[in-house]
């Protein structure tokens, strides 16, 4: 009898652990994609007038951005543009 209860609680523990894995993976994925997609940022490969990524405080040389995913052009622009003082 005690052995059956032990087996049930072990199964419950293993089931709960397996059910918890996808949730932790989802949380990790959400944390990894804190940046906007190019579409969300309305990114374009061309400047917006005199404003471009090369003048933005969020630009990470040579082709990165702190808030937009993927490679970007220093001549690009998006709606999150933040001008260098
Ligand atoms: S303009 Fe947009 S894409 Fe370009 S560096 Fe700034 S935040 Fe990033």
Question: Which CATH architecture does the domain made up of 36-85 adopt?
Answer: Irregular (4.10)
> Within 10 A of 38 (CB to CB), how many other CB atoms are there?
18
Contacts of 41 (CB under 8 A, 6+ apart): 67, 68, 78, 79, 80
Per-residue pLDDT of the chain (85 residues; tens, 9 = 90+): 555 554 555 454 444 444 444 444 444 544 556 999 999 999 999 999 999 999 999 999 999 999 999 999 999 999 999 998 7
The set of protein residues with a Cβ atom below 6 angstroms from ligand 1 is 41, 43, 53, 56, 58-59, 65, 67-68, 72, 76-78, 80-81
Half-sphere exposure of 32 (CA within 13 A, CB side): 7
49: left (phi over 0), alpha (psi -120 to 50) or beta: left
Domain ranges in the chain? 1-34, 36-85
Ligand 1 atom closest to 56 (CA): 6
Which residue's C-alpha comes closest to atom 2 of ligand 1? Answer: 78
**In sequence order, what are the beta bridge partners of 64?**
60
């Amino acid at each position: 009898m005690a052995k059956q209860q032990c087996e049930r609680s072990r199964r419950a523990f293993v089931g709960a652990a397996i059910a918890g894995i996808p949730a932790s993976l989802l949380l990790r994925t959400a944390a990894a994609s804190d940046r906007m997609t190019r579409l969300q940022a309305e990114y374009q490969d061309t400047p917006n007038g005199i404003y471009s990524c090369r003048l933005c405080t969020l630009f990470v040389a040579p082709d990165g951005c702190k808030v937009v995913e993927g490679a970007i052009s220093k001549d690009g622009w998006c709606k999150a543009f933040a001008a260098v003082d």
